[in-house]
Amino acid sequence: MPDKELDEDSVTKKSVQGALGILKACLNSKTVKRVVYTSSAAAAVYSDNGRDSVDESTWSDIEYHRSLKLFGTSYVAAKTKTEQIALKFAEENELELVTLLPPLVVGGFLCKTLPASVYLSLSMILGNQDHYKHLMRQNMVHVDDLVSAHIFLFENPNAKGRYICSSNQITIDEMSQFLSAKYPGFRIPTTDLLKGIEGYKRPCLSSKKLLSSGFRFKHGLDDMYDEAIQCCKEKGFL
């Protein structure tokens, strides 16, 4: 994970320009029927509405995220504004655009570096105590399910608008218990040791819209962690 905050305006500008450039190219081609844009759960989970569960109707409030003094405001701002602008552009130009909002993506990986999402999800195994505060409650999805969801939304003729793609929610205590029971070979912090950890407790993400469209998740936490750990061992991170 990056260790310093990036410039918000610069990141947002590049993100918006990149997305609009692709959408304009698709529009000019006259052959593209639908675009599926990968947004992020970060564009939905930071809202001061008091709800314990959020759906596609919720947008992140960038100023609220800033007030929480959490790391990553530039990312939240870029993802939120880019998705909003992309949807507006598509509507104004009659371009069929579907957006997909994944949370923490966990599972096997092909890259040589450790993906930030896997790094965070394995914090208790890797001993990264500084990141425990980000685990108060996390929403997760297996990388293969996310890929399948993209294909599903490309092929579903009725797909429209935003879709949350989250299969599991887990609190920091539940994660400690799960990892301790499943991987006794690792020194996982106990729930007693985690009592003093403070952080933002993200609302649960509802994938009801995606599931109602006919999509089904095939992987749970067992697959996510088994494959992530195996990849980390093969690539020398564990």
Which position among 79, 133, 160, 233 bears the catalytic label? Answer: 79
Q: What pLDDT sits at residue 50?
A: 79
Could you tell me if residue 144 is inside a domain?
yes
Residues of the chain where predicted confidence (pLDDT) is lower than 50: 3
Could you tell me if residue 222 is inside a domain?
yes
Residue type, 23: L
How far apart, in Å, do the first and last CA atoms of the chain sit?
17
Q: What pLDDT sits at residue 71?
A: 80
Residue appearing with tokens 């409650």: 137
Residue 167: domain span: 8-234
Q: What pLDDT sits at residue 109?
A: 97
Q: Output the CA–CA distances (angstroms, integers) from residue 120 to 92, 104, 129, 211, 216, in the order listed.
A: 38, 9, 10, 27, 25
CATH code of the domain in which 162 resides: 3.40.50.720
Taking alpha carbons only, the member of 42, 115, 28 closest to residue 83 is: 42
Could you tell me if residue 3 is inside a domain?
no
Domain tally, the chain: 1
Contact 219, 194 (CB under 8 A): no
Could you tell me if residue 214 is inside a domain?
yes
Q: What pLDDT sits at residue 4?
A: 59
Could you tell me if residue 105 is inside a domain?
yes
Could you tell me if residue 2 is inside a domain?
no
Mark whether 201 is an active-site residue. Answer: no
Could you tell me if residue 1 is inside a domain?
no
Could you tell me if residue 89 is inside a domain?
yes
CB atoms within 10 A of CB 15: 21
User: Which tokens belong to 177?
Assistant: 């218990």
The C-alpha atoms of residue 129 and residue 11 are separated, in whole angstroms, by 28
Q: What pLDDT sits at residue 69?
A: 84
Q: What pLDDT sits at residue 49?
A: 81
pTM for the whole structure: 0.93
What are the φ/ψ torsions at residue 183 (nearest 5 degrees)? Answer: -130, 70
